[in-house]
A = this chain, B = another copy of it.
Amino acid sequence: MAQPKTPKWRQLADRFAAEIRSGERPSGSTLPKISDLAAELGSGSETVRLAYRALSDEGLVVMSKRGGTRVAETLVKIRRDATFRYSRTAREAAGAHGAFEAELARLGLAYREARPTRIAREQAPARVAELLGVDPGEDVLVRDRVMCADRAGVRSDRATVVQLATSYFPGELAFGTQLEADDTGPGGSKSRLADLGHAQTTITEEIDVRAPTEAEAGALRTTADRPVYEITHIGRTAEGRVVEVAVHVMPVRLWRLAYTFEVDA
């Protein structure tokens, strides 16, 4: 039976993972620095780094350039439940980012945006333009957010960036409406779109995992070799018209996704 040998870095990562999960290495404690551990084990530093990187991808440790490698404070991934998130009642119940904020709060984290939402009229990427059914050269409304989660009292420039979210709306529907305002009010842009007579009733989300672009890696403070989710969210009205396309990019190591739906028996 094709059973490849377990690489040494994997074994090392598994050993540390066990120590972390057993509580032997508590949250916040520092792991040996790469060069020291390599010397101690008689391994190359690259081997140790691969082990640490695997732990980082699993969300067990956080690596930083000066601070060394530490056991993560939050050992569980953020859960994103796409189904309930988008019902109007849920959206308007607890503020604009209700479901998301509640989920973060459960992990002891606070939601924040890294900078004000960027609102612009510009061309959409080709794939988005096609989905929206607009001409590739035509301007659409773009709302672009950088979403963070901090532990209380953490300096803002050290916060964890958890998601990049860019929404696209057809100009015909959105220009000159409250969708161009900084604050879109209770329930957010989806509720305003509904108020304008373009309520989204059918949502399709496509999930892909890929390497981040250079810009994404920078914004998410991750590296080119750590994969990200790319979720393309497509909102359709009852008539089947696409009124919103949103692209969410988020590091795989921070998130777990969930979908609930009904089927005919």
* Residues of A bordering B, CB below 8 Å: 1-4, 6-7, 10, 50, 54, 57-58, 77, 82-83, 86-89, 194, 199-211, 214-215, 217-219, 221, 223-225, 227, 229, 238, 252, 256-265
Contact yes or no, B207 A256, CB < 8 A: yes
Identify the closest chain B residue to A50 (Cβ): B225
Chain A interface, DSSP helix/strand/loop, else mixed: mixed
Q: A2-B219, A87-B264 are in contact. List 13 more A-B contacts (CB 8 A).
A: A2-B218, A2-B221, A6-B224, A50-B225, A88-B263, A199-B265, A200-B265, A202-B260, A202-B263, A204-B258, A209-B209, A259-B259, A259-B261
Chain B residues with CB below 8 A from A89, complex form: 264
Q: Could you list some 11 contacts between A and B, CB below 8 A?
A: A4-B224, A6-B224, A10-B224, A50-B225, A58-B210, A82-B261, A87-B264, A201-B263, A203-B262, A207-B259, A238-B265
State in angstroms the CA–CA spacing of A223 and B261 once bound together. Answer: 33
The contact of A83 among B219, B224, B261, by CB within 8 Å, is B261
Chain B residues with CB below 8 A from A221, complex form: 2
Chain B residues with CB below 8 A from A58, complex form: 210-211
State in angstroms the CA–CA spacing of A195 and B152 once bound together. Answer: 53
Q: Closest CB-CB distance, A97 to chain B, in whole Å?
A: 17
State in angstroms the CA–CA spacing of A161 and B264 once bound together. Answer: 30
State in angstroms the CA–CA spacing of A174 and B32 once bound together. Answer: 51
Chain B residues with CB below 8 A from A202, complex form: 260-263
Question: Assuming A54-B211, A218-B3, is B252 touching A203 (CB within 8 A)?
Answer: no
Question: Assuming A218-B2, A227-B252, is B257 touching A207 (CB within 8 A)?
Answer: yes
State in angstroms the CA–CA spacing of A215 and B256 once bound together. Answer: 23
Question: Assuming A204-B259, A258-B206, A261-B259, is B88 touching A225 (CB within 8 A)?
Answer: no
The contact of A252 among B6, B209, B225, by CB within 8 Å, is B209
Contact yes or no, A208 B77, CB < 8 A: yes
Question: Assuming A54-B225, A214-B6, is B258 touching A207 (CB within 8 A)?
Answer: yes
